[in-house]
Chains A and B, each alone.
Chain A
Amino acid sequence: MECISRDELHKIQGERLAATVKREYENVPVYRERMDAAGVKPEDIRSVEDLQYLPFMEKTDLRDYYPFGLLASPQEEIVRIHGSSGTTGKPIVSGYTRNDVDVWSEMMARTLTAAGATRGDIVQVTYGLGLFTGGFGAYQGADRIGAMVIPMSSGNTQRQIMMMKDLGATMLCCTPSYASYLGETIREMGIDPKKDLKLKAGCFGAEPWTEEMRQRIEQLLEIDACDIYGLTEIAGPGVAFECLEKNGMHINEDHVIAEIIDPTTGKQLPYGMHGELVFTTITKTGMPMMRYRTHDICTLTADKCACGRTLARMGRIVGRTDDMLVIRGVNVFPSQIESVLVGADGVAPHYMLIVDRVNSSDTLEVQVEMTEEMFGDTVAHIENVRKYITAQIKSVVGIASKVKLVAPKSIPRSEGKAKRVIDNRKL
């Protein structure tokens, strides 16, 4: 299934989509109302191309119809509940039928297999086992493969390391920040991962991370670190997974359809463009999701991967729609600029974007702090550094900017979420 031709895949997706939409329309009042309002009948939806006519779902819908308002199966068919605690108000919960648990296990089994797991592997799961999907997802996936699972759940780092060593764990499932912490602690304890441990790979997700962090984890633990993506609303971890090529996450497209849309207009965008990631489930029966807006920003590609899988891949999440700026009609995400700065040698990751409107045209100034590595005693040297950063930003973001080099530590630091944008446009 993972190496199926794109045409065949689209055919299967179309059939499954039609069946799912019919189920949603017939069993969930909210879907029926919204489709009626949009003037779409279930019979109108026959192929993947028809997806664009369907209404969107939002996280707020899961709160509004909490807990069981979106179930498309009778409650007695629900065998499991998972959820996530929101930062405000009520949590969101999702109900799983036996089929849904099965589908999810399959997605996670593929995830682990893509990272190199086989029957003989020993998988240490340090995601929390509970309402949160991380722990159960990893457990079920490893169980499906027939690997040995150590369901450690989170916390107690010393104990985690002891079990990892004594049982000879070969795979690790946790958040990237915890993997990095584990690695640091292991090194501090004088444990040599090459000699004393058997770890070979890990699947890390549930929070955004960077390429730099991957390299750090791989060095600390001497493993392959693969990224995974998932969300409770769709299934849990394993919606998309990285293979050992580490070049984007393969989406389990026989179970979900991914779209990239313009967050402002809601219109579909072609593959390769940055936009909001939207998922539609096509095999779930308990709480299927129609065009669920993740508010995560990334790109999609359907180019064949070197691993042989034909499943489309999603790029790293570069930001959230709330952070998006529209400059001269182009969607710009501060994190794209951050990635340019982090990737350039000797450039500090502190920056400030100043957006303004001069003579009815938008301007973007990128303030970057001068560092010792960037500095030289000639104007030409510094101008070259400035031009290099400007060109890199242009190639990644797609619009021209004015890079201004400012004094070190002149850009305010903040404890929590740093303020990175000053928008002076009077709109």
Chain B
Amino acid sequence: MFIRQISVFLENTPGALREMCELLGNGGVDLLALSVADTQNFGIIRIITSNEQIDKGLLLLRDHGYIAKVNHVICAGVPDRPLGLCELLALIEKANLSVEYMYSFMRASHEGEAALIMRLSNGEKAEKLFQMHDVRMFSQEEVDAL
């Protein structure tokens, strides 16, 4: 069983990702999951949205000059316990398959908030910035409790 995903080509320029998210947001496309594959020269953005919003999102992106495609991907459930993911990966490995990319849903069942995992170029600076702007950061305990 497959689900549909939109992939988008982005040039590595400042603001490119924000612009694209703004376009989709203003167009009423709700992002359920997003991943950024980033190389020195370009980026590939992968988006999961509700099935009825996929075509709308794709059209919106293409109308605004983006190169975007719909691909089919598998969405697998992973048991929420230690080694849950490892068991799945072992299964994949035994079958001589490899993972080309993997990312997770943004939405966590915690007071209607999305949990987004990110790595930024300067972690300490980002932490201070978020503290200054009251951006909520999940602590280890809170993540564990999700």
B140 within 8 A of A: no
| B-contact bits for A368-384, CB 8 A (1 contact / 0 none) | 00111001111110110
**Of B38-46, B49-57, B76-84, B119-127, which stretch is located at the interface?**
B38-46
With A404-B41, A407-B11 known to touch, is A378 a contact of B65 (CB < 8 Å)?
no
Residues 368-427 (chain A) with a chain B CB within 8 angstroms: 370-372, 375-380, 382-383, 386, 404-410
The prevalent SS among residues of B at the interface is strand
Q: Which listed residue, B37, B67, B71, touches A371 by the CB 8 Å rule?
A: B67
B63 within 8 A of A: no
The CA-CA distance from A19 to B7 in the complex, in Å, is 71
Query: Contacts A377-B44, A404-B41, A409-B65 given; 15 further ones with Cβ under 8 A?
Result: A370-B9, A375-B7, A377-B5, A379-B44, A380-B100, A382-B42, A382-B44, A383-B39, A405-B42, A407-B9, A407-B10, A407-B11, A407-B65, A407-B67, A408-B66
Residues 160-198 (chain A) with a chain B CB within 8 angstroms: none
A369 to chain B minimum Cβ distance, whole angstroms, is 9
CB of A379 within 8 A of CB of B39, answer yes
List the A residue with the shortest CB-CB distance to B7: A377
- Chain B residues near A375: list those with CB within 8 A: 7, 9, 67, 69
The CA-CA distance from A149 to B121 in the complex, in Å, is 75
| A-contact bits for B8-51, CB 8 A (1 contact / 0 none) | 01110000000000000000000000000101011010100000
15 contacts between A and B (CB under 8 A): A375-B7, A375-B9, A376-B7, A376-B69, A377-B5, A377-B7, A377-B101, A378-B37, A378-B100, A378-B101, A382-B9, A404-B41, A406-B11, A408-B65, A410-B11
A340 to chain B minimum Cβ distance, whole angstroms, is 19
List the A residue with the shortest CB-CB distance to B13: A407
The CA-CA distance from A371 to B65 in the complex, in Å, is 11
Q: Which listed residue, B11, B37, B69, touches A379 by the CB 8 Å rule?
A: B37
- Chain B residues near A371: list those with CB within 8 A: 67
The CA-CA distance from A379 to B45 in the complex, in Å, is 11
A52 to chain B minimum Cβ distance, whole angstroms, is 46
Interface residues on B, range: 10 to 19
Interface residues of B (CB under 8 A from A): 5, 7, 9-11, 37, 39, 41-42, 44, 46, 65-67, 69, 71, 100-101
The count of residues in chain A whose C-beta lies closer than 8 Å to any C-beta of chain B is 19
With A372-B69, A377-B46 known to touch, is A405 a contact of B41 (CB < 8 Å)?
yes
Interface residues of A (CB under 8 A from B): 370-372, 375-380, 382-383, 386, 404-410
CB of B67 within 8 A of CB of A370, answer yes
List the A residue with the shortest CB-CB distance to B69: A375
List the A residue with the shortest CB-CB distance to B10: A407
CB of B71 within 8 A of CB of A377, answer yes
Q: Which listed residue, A378, A380, A386, A408, touches B67 by the CB 8 Å rule?
A: A408
- Chain A residues near B37: list those with CB within 8 A: 378-379
The CA-CA distance from A404 to B39 in the complex, in Å, is 11
The CA-CA distance from A383 to B100 in the complex, in Å, is 14
- Chain A residues near B44: list those with CB within 8 A: 377-379, 382
- Chain B residues near A380: list those with CB within 8 A: 100
The CA-CA distance from A405 to B69 in the complex, in Å, is 17
- Chain B residues near A410: list those with CB within 8 A: 11
List the A residue with the shortest CB-CB distance to B5: A377
List the A residue with the shortest CB-CB distance to B16: A407
- Chain A residues near B101: list those with CB within 8 A: 377-378
The CA-CA distance from A389 to B69 in the complex, in Å, is 22
- Chain A residues near B42: list those with CB within 8 A: 370, 382, 405
- Counting from the closest, the 7 A-B pairs by CB-CB distance are A377-B7, A407-B11, A377-B71, A370-B9, A375-B67, A370-B67, A378-B100
List the B residue with the shortest CB-CB distance to A377: B7
A408 to chain B minimum Cβ distance, whole angstroms, is 6
B137 to chain A minimum Cβ distance, whole angstroms, is 29
